Chain A
C-alpha cells in the first residue's frame, strides 16, 4: 500500500474535525447565548451547523472514495490528541473514515440536516427555540463521535452523549411531569445497557493491554492464538455484555421499554433520534465489532433470537395502538428487531442495509406524523383523524410512499432490505456448527410473522389517518410550510430509491461490495446455504404476506369489514386488553424491579443506617460511656489517698505491660 499523500491526509483530517466540531459549536452558541440570538439567528446557527457538517462529510467522502482501496482496511484514520493516559492505559482522540462509518456519516448528517430544517417550522412557536437547536446540535455531535470514533471509548462517549441528548429532548417540555419522567426512564434504562458496555470494555482493556482501539481489537481477534479464541467463554461474556448495551440503545427485549415513552419528546426528535439514528447505534455497534461477535456463536444466536422476538412482540403491540406516534414507536422497536436479527444471523451487510432504508422511511413517517399533529394542533389519536389525504396532499403522498416501503411492497426500499434479512435468517449458518439449523427456521418464522403484522398495522394507521371521512368536526387541517414539506419529499424519495443500492443481483450488490472490507472478518465465520432461486421464491412469499396485510387492513378500516375489529376484540377480550396494555411489561418491571429496589433503598437507609450503625454502633458506645460514667461516679469519693493508690497501681501495671 502506498503511503498516503500528506496533503490529502491533512485535508481529510481537517474535514473530519469540521464534521464533528460544527454541531458542537452550534450547540455552544445556541446554548450559551439563547437570549442574544433572534429566532431566525438561532435557526440559522442550528440548521447551519448541521448543513456545514453534512457538507464537510460529503467533501471528505469525495476525497476518500477514490483512494480508499489504497488504505489499510479502506480506513482513513486521524488522531487529534491523546485523551487519557494512565499506567498502561492510553486512549487517543482519533476518528476514522471507513466504508461503514462513511455510510453512517451520510445517514446521520444527511437526515440530520433535513430534520433540523423541518424543526424550524415545527418548533416555530416554541419559547425555547434556541435550547431546542442547542440540544439537537449536541445530539448530532455525539452521534458523529459514535460513528466516527476509532477507539471503543470514543464510541462510548458518543453512545452516552446521544443518551444524554435523548434525555434532554424527551423531557424538552419539562413542566409536564410525565414527559420529564419519560426522559429519566430513557436515561436510566439506557444506563443499564451502558453498564454492560462498560464492563465489556474493562475486560477488553485488559486483553488489549490498555488500548481500546477498534483496528487493534480486530487484529487481536484475527490472531491465531488470540485469547478471544482460546477463551471462548470470555468472548461470549464480553459480547453478551456488549449486547446488553445494544438492547438498551436499540430498544430490544428486555430494555425496549423506554422507547415508546420517548415519544413524549417533540416529533422531530422522535424522527431523528428515536427512529433514524440513535436507536440504530446498537446495530452499528454489532456491525462494527462483527469480527468479535462472530467468534461467539452463542451470543450470535442470542442476538438473532432477541431480535426476532422483539420484531414480533413489538409488532403485536402496534396492532392495536391508537396514538399515531405510539404506533410508529412500536413499529420502530419492531424494525430494530429486524436489524438485530440481521446482524445476529451474520448478515451484517443486510442489517446495515435495513438500518439505512429504515432511516429514510421511518424518518419520513415520523415527520409526516408530525405534520399531521401540527395541522391538528396537537391531536395524536388516530380515532379522531381521517380524511386528511385531500387536505394535506404532500404529507399524504410522502406518508403513503413510506408506508408502502415499510410494509415491504416490491420496488420500494424496505422490501429489498427486509427481504435480504429474512433470506439470510433462513440460510446463514455459523461455520462452527454450534447453532442448530432449526433456529434458522424459528428466526425466519418470527420475521415473516412480524412482516404480516407490519403491513397490517401500518396500513391501519394510514387508512385511519388519511382515508375515510374526518372524524373530528372541529379540525381544520392545513398543509405544513415548506421547511416541513421539503424534508418530507426528500425522505420519501429516499424511501423509494435507497433500496436500489442493495438490489439483489447476481454478483453481489453495490452496498455489499462497498461494505465488504468491513465485514470480511465476521462473515468468514458464516456460510450461506441459500440459492438465488430460494431468494426469489422468498421474495414472492413476502410479497404475498405484505399484500395480505394491506388487504386485511383495507377490508377492516375502509372496506366492508369495518365492524370486524370490534367483533374480534369482543371475541377475545383478554388478548385485546393484553395487547392494548402492551403485555403489561411496564407493570411487571415496576413490580419485579422498581418496587423491590425502592424497598431496598428504604431499608438501606432506615434499617442499616439509622438503626444498626447509628443506634447500635455509634450511640451504643456513647450510651455505654454514659453508663460507665454513672458507675464510676461512685468511685470519685474525694479521698486523695485512694486516688494515689490507684494511680500507683496503674503506673505499675502500665510499666509491666509496655516494657
Chain B
C-alpha cells in the first residue's frame, strides 16, 4: 500500500467541507425557520453526495493504494499532517455515508420539530467528522475526527432522543470515550517508537514491532474499535442508544458510525499489527460468532421493534468481524460489502420503524399487527428489506454473508490442527445465524404486518407518503443492485483488499495457521519473562 495518485483538485477536502459549510450557514438562520433549516440541510447533504460522486468517478479501481491524496502540514511542531486519501476500502463506506446523510435529512422532515436548526447543524457536522475519519491517513488526524464524531451524536441522542435519552447518551459517550483513551495511548507509543517525527499511517506500517508490543497495541486499538462495532460483549450501549435516538440518529448510527469500528480494524489494527492480528484472530472469531448467535437470540426476545433491529446489528456485525479476520480475499471482500449492506438494510429498517413511530408513537411490536392491510406499500418494502437483512439470494445481504462464510470455511479448511477444527466449528455455528435471522426477523414481520387488526387505530393508518417512499426506494434499489450486480461494488475494493491480504500474509510467517506454530508463538508471548522486553 502506498500513495497511488495525488489530487489535482482537492475533491476530498471539498466534500468534507460542504456539510460543515452548511452547518455554518444554518447557524446564521433564525431558529424559527424550520423549513429553511431542512432545505439548507438537504441541499448541502445532496451537494456533498454529488461531490462524493466525483471521487467515485475519478477513482481507479485497478489501483490498490491511496488515491487523490492531499497532504498539508497541520501541526508542524509535532509532525502531524493533514493527509487524506481514499482507497478501495474507504471508498465504498465514504459513498455510503454521503448517500445516507441526505436520506436521513429527508426522514426528519416530520419527526424533528424542536430546535431544527441545531439538529441539522449537528447532523451536518457529524457527516463531516465521519467522512474525515474515513479519509484520514494521519493517525492524529484520524483520532481527532474519531473523537469529534462523538459530540454531535451525543447531542442528537441526548437532545432529540426518547424518554431515557440522557442515560443512553451518557452510556454511549462513556463507553466509546473509554475505548478511545487506550487507543490514544497506543498512538502516542507508536509516535515515540517511530522516532517522534510523524503520525503518518504509511510510515507506521513499515515499523517492525516485536510481537509482544504488537499484541498490546493491537488490543488498545481493538478495544476502541470493538466497542464501536460493537463486538460482543461490548455491545450493550447499542440497544440503548438506538432505542432512545431519533430515527435519523439510529440510521446514521447503524448505517455509518458502527462501520467506523470495522473500518478501523481494516485500516489500522490489521495493517499496523499484522502478527498480533494473526495471533488474535481466533479469539476475535469466537467473539464474532458469539455476537452472531447472541445478537440473534437476544433480538428474538425483544418486544420493542427498534431494540430488535439494534440487536440484529450485533449479529450482522458479528459476520463482518468474522470475515475480516479470516484474512483472505473472499472473506474480507465479503466483509467490506457487508458493511455497506448493513448500512443499506439496517438503515432502511430503522427508517421503516420511524415511519411506524411517527404514526403511532410507540415501538412496541404488540401495538401493531395486521397493518399490511392499511399500509400495503409499507408492507412490501418491509418484507423486501427483511429479506435483505436475512440474506436471501438475490438481495445484497446474501452476497456479503456468502462471501464471508465461504472465506471463513476456506481459511479453516486450509489450515491444520486445532485451528482447523475450531474454525470449522465456528463457521458452522455462524451459519446457524442464517436460521436464527429468519426466525427473529420473520416473527417481527408477522407480528407487525400480518394477522387480524387488533387495535382499532391501526385500521386507518395512512400508507407511506411520497417522501417516505422516495427515501426507501433508493435503498430498495440498492438491495437488488448489489444482490444481482455485486461486481460493480466488489470491483472497487478488490485491489485494495487483495493488497491488504497479501501484505498481511507477507508479514505473518507461513506457519501462522499451523496449530503448533500458533501455539508456540502464543506460549512464547505470554510466558516470556518481563526482562526480555524491558529495555528499549
Contact = CB atoms under 8 A, between A and B. Distances in A.
Contacts of B486: 83-84
Given A195-B435, A614-B236, A188 B442 contact: yes
A194 B330 contact: no
A59 interface: no
Contacts of B393: 153, 156-157, 160-161
A584 interface: no
A89 B403 contact: yes
A604 B414 CA distance: 33
A582 B172 CA distance: 52
B329 A88 contact: yes
B409 A203 contact: yes
A609 B295 CA distance: 10
Given A198-B434, A205-B410, A206-B413, A175 B452 contact: yes
B255 to A, nearest CB: 23
Interface in B420-439: 427-428, 431-432, 434-435, 438-439
A195 B434 contact: yes
B399 interface: yes
Given A84-B399, A195-B431, A604-B297, A177 B450 contact: yes
B329 A86 contact: yes
Interface residues of B, number: 61
B373 interface: yes
Interface string A100-122: 00000000000000000000000
Interface stretch (A179-187, A474-482, A556-564): A179-187
Given A177-B451, A198-B434, A205-B410, A601 B443 contact: no
B302 interface: yes
B89 to A, nearest CB: 14
A605 B442 CA distance: 19
A188 B451 contact: no
Nearest to A142: B394
A580 interface: no
Contacts of B498: 87
B435 A202 contact: no
User: Does more than half of chain A's interface fall in helix, strand or loop, or is it mixed?
Assistant: helix
A602 interface: yes
A503 interface: no
B387 interface: yes
Contacts of A180: 446, 450-451
B410 A175 contact: no
Nearest to A602: B301
Given A205-B410, A601-B300, A199 B442 contact: no
A206 B414 CA distance: 8
Contact of B494 (A31, A86, A176): A86
Contact of A87 (B328, B427, B446): B328
A605 B297 contact: yes
Interface string A154-167: 00110011001001
A160 B438 CA distance: 12
Interface in B477-536: 484, 486-487, 490, 494, 498
B130 interface: no
A229 interface: no
Contacts of A156: 393
B334 A86 contact: yes
Interface string B369-413: 010110000001001000100001110000100110111111001
B interface: dominant SS: helix
Given A83-B486, A175-B373, A177-B452, A605 B302 contact: yes
B487 A82 contact: yes
B182 to A, nearest CB: 14
Contacts of B294: 604, 608-609
A199 B431 contact: yes
Interface in B169-204: 171, 174-175
A262 to B, nearest CB: 15
Q: How large is the interface on A (under 10, 10 to 19, 20 to 34, 35 or more residues)?
A: 35 or more
A524 interface: no
Interface string B208-242: 00000000000000000000000001011101000
B351 interface: no
A561 to B, nearest CB: 44
Contact of A175 (B171, B402, B432, B450): B450
Nearest to B411: A206
B500 to A, nearest CB: 12
A153 B393 CA distance: 9
A180 B439 CA distance: 13
A604 B450 contact: no
B449 interface: yes
A201 B398 CA distance: 14
Contact of A605 (B298, B402, B428, B494): B298
Interface string A314-354: 00000000000000000000000000000000000000000
Given A187-B438, A601-B298, A606-B301, A89 B372 contact: no
A609 B413 CA distance: 33
Contact of B410 (A82, A188, A206, A609): A206
A597 to B, nearest CB: 8
Given A87-B330, A203-B413, A613-B236, A604 B301 contact: yes
B333 interface: yes
B471 interface: no
Interface in B307-340: 328-330, 333-334
Contacts of A609: 236, 239, 294, 298
Contacts of B301: 601-602, 604-606
A188 B446 CA distance: 13
27 contacts: A31-B380, A83-B487, A84-B486, A84-B487, A86-B330, A86-B334, A86-B407, A87-B330, A89-B406, A89-B407, A153-B402, A156-B393, A160-B393, A161-B394, A164-B387, A174-B370, A174-B372, A176-B451, A177-B451, A180-B450, A187-B438, A194-B434, A195-B432, A202-B410, A609-B294, A617-B233, A618-B236
Given A202-B427, A203-B413, 15 more contacts: A83-B487, A84-B399, A86-B329, A87-B333, A157-B393, A164-B392, A177-B450, A202-B431, A205-B410, A602-B301, A604-B297, A609-B236, A609-B294, A609-B298, A617-B233
Q: Give me the 7 closest cross-chain CB pairs, A-B, nearest first.
A: A87-B329, A180-B450, A202-B409, A177-B451, A157-B393, A605-B301, A604-B297
